[in-house]
Chains A and B, each alone.
Chain A
Amino acid sequence: MVTATWYLILAAGLFTIGAVGLLVRRNPLIMFMCVELMLNAVNLTFITFGRELNDIGGQVSVFFVLVVAAAEVVVGLAIVVAINRRRPQATADDLSALRG
């Protein structure tokens, strides 16, 4: 029988991999994917606690996280496209100013 503890440890592992990837990688697109990994780890935690506490609110929270993640990806990728138009092949290290 898989208890909630195992799901939470899996979520912690996934969050850690995402965080390390975000710190190590320099490609903005990969960094966005790592943020998605971290958000997914949080989603798994929400659903696990929701089932454990017998509360539907956990699943509703995941619904909102999904919406925010979608909005974040849309704006983030628009920024990546806009930056790439001006400075092709720019990595996260090259982008130290908010101006184009």
Chain B
Amino acid sequence: METAVFIVCAAIVLAGALGVVLARNPVHAALSLVGTLFGMAVLFLNLEAHFLAAVQIIVYAGAIVVLFLFVIMLLGVDRLEDLSVEPITGQRVLAAIVGLGTFVLAVIFILSSSIGPSDSGPQILTRDITDQYSNLRQIADVLFTDYVYAFEATAALLTISVVGAVVMSRRMARSDETQDTKVDD
């Protein structure tokens, strides 16, 4: 059963990823991204990360892709893009070589290394996954004890990014106004 779920979801994830890269219309790319993210959420369930599967659907497939679509519609860039033109000569060939090299090297390392708990390395900040508590409770336990400073830092990060987004759009609007008045003069 796990194998079947993996094969189907891997196909969905890879097809969606190819759709993002190859789609000529940005809206189609965003919808392919939803497919990838959804397949990824099911793979998370397969790996028994229940909380993150739910968060993946809500935050990624819900909020982030909708934000992408909002911006696409707001800017009116939902026109077809001509992909046959290569802006820099040899760029696609070089990108393909880089991609192939990355993939081959990663697969070689994955296949040659043995994955498993080691007794030799440092054993700091590890907490075993148990069946005793729910997945959510285990994450919360670690998040509010070992990683509490990082958690507070993410709160600051989100606040800063929201303020930054607001400031960026306001300042642009103001400079546009001054430019307009100059043109009027």
Residues of the B chain whose Cβ atoms lie less than 8 Å from the Cβ of A100 = 172, 175
50-100 of chain A: CB within 8 A of chain B: 50-57, 59-60, 62-64, 66-75, 77-82, 84-86, 88-89, 91, 93, 100
**B64 A29 Cβ-Cβ under 8 A:** no
Residues of the B chain whose Cβ atoms lie less than 8 Å from the Cβ of A12 = 102-103, 106-107, 110
How far is B154's CA from A77's CA once the two chains are assembled, in angstroms?
Answer: 19
Residues of the B chain whose Cβ atoms lie less than 8 Å from the Cβ of A47 = 44, 47, 49, 52
Q: Interface centre among B13, B157, B175, by most A CB within 10 Å?
A: B13
Minimum CB–CB distance for A33 against chain B, Å: 5
How far is B88's CA from A93's CA once the two chains are assembled, in angstroms?
Answer: 10
Q: How many residues of chain A have a CB within 8 Å of chain B?
A: 74
Interface of B is mostly: helix
**B128 A14 Cβ-Cβ under 8 A:** no
- Considering only CB atoms, which chain A residue lies closest to B70 in the complex? A77
Interface size class of chain B, counting residues whose CB lies under 8 Å from the partner chain: 35 or more
How far is B167's CA from A33's CA once the two chains are assembled, in angstroms?
Answer: 24
**B95 A9 Cβ-Cβ under 8 A:** no
Q: Interface centre among A15, A48, A77, A89, by most B CB within 10 Å?
A: A77
How far is B138's CA from A51's CA once the two chains are assembled, in angstroms?
Answer: 13
Minimum CB–CB distance for A84 against chain B, Å: 5
Q: B37-59 vs A: 1/0 string, CB under 8 Å?
A: 10010011011110110011001
How far is B29's CA from A36's CA once the two chains are assembled, in angstroms?
Answer: 12
Contact of B127 (CB < 8 Å), options: A15, A17, A57: A57
Residues of the B chain whose Cβ atoms lie less than 8 Å from the Cβ of A18 = 17, 21
**B111 A75 Cβ-Cβ under 8 A:** no
**B17 A36 Cβ-Cβ under 8 A:** no
Contact of B150 (CB < 8 Å), options: A17, A51, A64: A64
29-54 of chain A: CB within 8 A of chain B: 29-30, 32-34, 36-37, 40, 43-44, 47-54
The 6 closest A-B pairs by CB, nearest first: A21-B21, A12-B106, A20-B99, A78-B165, A23-B95, A71-B161
**Residue contacts A-B, CB under 8 angstroms, 9 given:** A6-B10, A8-B106, A8-B115, A17-B20, A20-B96, A56-B142, A57-B126, A70-B59, A70-B63
Binding site for A on B (CB under 8 A): 2-3, 6, 10, 13-14, 17-18, 20-21, 23, 26, 29-30, 33, 36-37, 40, 43-44, 46-49, 51-52, 55-56, 59-60, 63-64, 67-68, 71-72, 74-75, 77, 81, 87, 91-92, 94-96, 98-100, 102-103, 106-107, 110-111, 115-117, 125-129, 135, 138-139, 142-143, 147, 150, 154, 157-158, 160-162, 164-165, 168-169, 172-173, 175-176
